Amino acid sequence: MVPLVSSVSESTAALALEQAADLLAGKRITVLTGAGVSTDSGIPDYRGEGAPKRNPMTFDQFLASPSYRKRYWAGSHLGWRMFDAAEPNTSHRVLAELEEAGLVRGVVTQNVDGLHARAGTRHLVDLHGSMDRVNCLTCGQTFARASVADRITQSNPSLSEPELVRMAPDGDADVAEYESFVVPACTVCGGVLKPDVVFFGEFVPTEKFSEASAMVKDSDALLIAGSSLVVNSGIRLLELARRRKLPIVIVNRGVTKGDSRATVKIDGGTSETLTALAARLLP
């Protein structure tokens, strides 16, 4: 069995789990999740052990030239087909169960995979957007990603199969040949399409962060699961909870930027740890 806390004794791990359960018992919990909650669904982590180095395309690059957009859309399409096939795992289902029981106020996620929604979480703030939506940057029209993917497949019949590419946490993939790729355009105005996700170089939409902040303010505790808290939006929510003197529990494999500010840190996988916490919190 994988230990809940690495590099420490089993008794210390059990103590951390019991402390976390005691802190969270009887409280309305807001949960902040990162890529670590989706690794058990086959979606790799950006920064976990063995994760390949990545230099994701920035928003400025995407806007700069058709060649960049071809590269992005070719990789994103292949990644999306694998991304879309992923299923919610134990972490997603446990959090949905805790929400159903009234223990979790809602989930704020840094992920764009849509797995929390598919697992049944109702009160969800997707801070960085969701890959299942596509927006036109010119007229603002929104499209279902599945319909755009169908158009891409029809326009690019020679595109490699998804099994031949490596998926990334943002639904992208590495593609060697993309100059012949036919990029989809908005069917309303012919404008530039972009998945409804926050690119590097973009800011989290103000209304999204306001929703997340309101959720934290309306809670009695903050549980952070599967996030290294490298992204600024996560740290800002942690700081909001700390200033309000809320108990903060962090569950993550390895070090996070918030460890020194956590009330309890559990170094372990989210599926097994959240399952163990739920067993102690649910009646």
**Tens digit of each residue's pLDDT (9 = 90 or more) over 65-118:** 999 999 899 888 877 877 888 999 999 999 999 999 999 999 999 999 999 999
pLDDT at residue 176 is higher than 70: no
pTM of the entire predicted model: 0.87
List Cβ neighbours of 10 (8 Å cut-off, separation of 6 or more): 3
Kindly list the domain boundaries of the chain, sorted by start residue: 10-281
114-158 pLDDT, tens digit per residue, is: 999 999 999 999 999 999 999 999 999 999 999 999 999 999 886
pLDDT at 82: 76
State the catalytic residue, choosing from 77, 92, 116, 128.
128
**With helix as H, strand as E and coil as C, how does the chain read?**
CCCCCCCCCHHHHHHHHHHHHHHHCCCCEEEEECHHHCHHHCCCCCCCCCCCCCCCCEHHHHHHCHHHHHHHHHHHHHHHHHHHHCCCCHHHHHHHHHHHCCCEEEEEECCCCCHHHHHCCCCEEECCEEEEEEEECCCCCEEEHHHHHHHHHHHCCCCCCHHHCCECCCCCECCCCCCCCCCCECCCCCCEEEEEECCECCCCCHHHHHHHHHHHHCCCEEEEECCCCCCHHHHHHHHHHHHCCCCEEEECCCCCCCHHHCCEEECCCHHHHHHHHHHHHCC
pLDDT at residue 22 is higher than 70: yes
CA distances, 66 to each of 12, 40, 70, 109, 246 (Å): 55, 35, 6, 31, 47
pLDDT at residue 184 is higher than 70: yes
Tokens 């230990």 belong to 3
Neighbours of 217 (CB within 10 A): 12
Name the average pLDDT for the chain. Answer: 88
- For the chain, how many residues are written? 283
24-71 pLDDT, tens digit per residue, is: 999 999 999 999 999 999 988 754 444 445 567 899 999 999 999 998
Let me know if 123 is a catalytic residue: no
Q: What percent of the chain has pLDDT over 90?
A: 73
pLDDT at 163: 45
Within 13 Å and on the Cβ side, how many CA atoms surround 8?
15
Q: Which pLDDT band holds residue 271 (cuts at 50, 70, 90)? A: very high
CATH class of the domain defined by 10-281: alpha beta
What's the CA gap between 238 and 242, in Å, rounded? Answer: 6
What's the CA gap between 45 and 254, in Å, rounded? Answer: 12
pLDDT at 173: 53
CA-closest candidate to residue 154, choices 112, 199, 187: 187
Pick from 78-87, 141-150, 201-210, 211-220: least confident: 78-87
Determine the Cα angle at 41 with ends 40 and 47, to 5°.
65
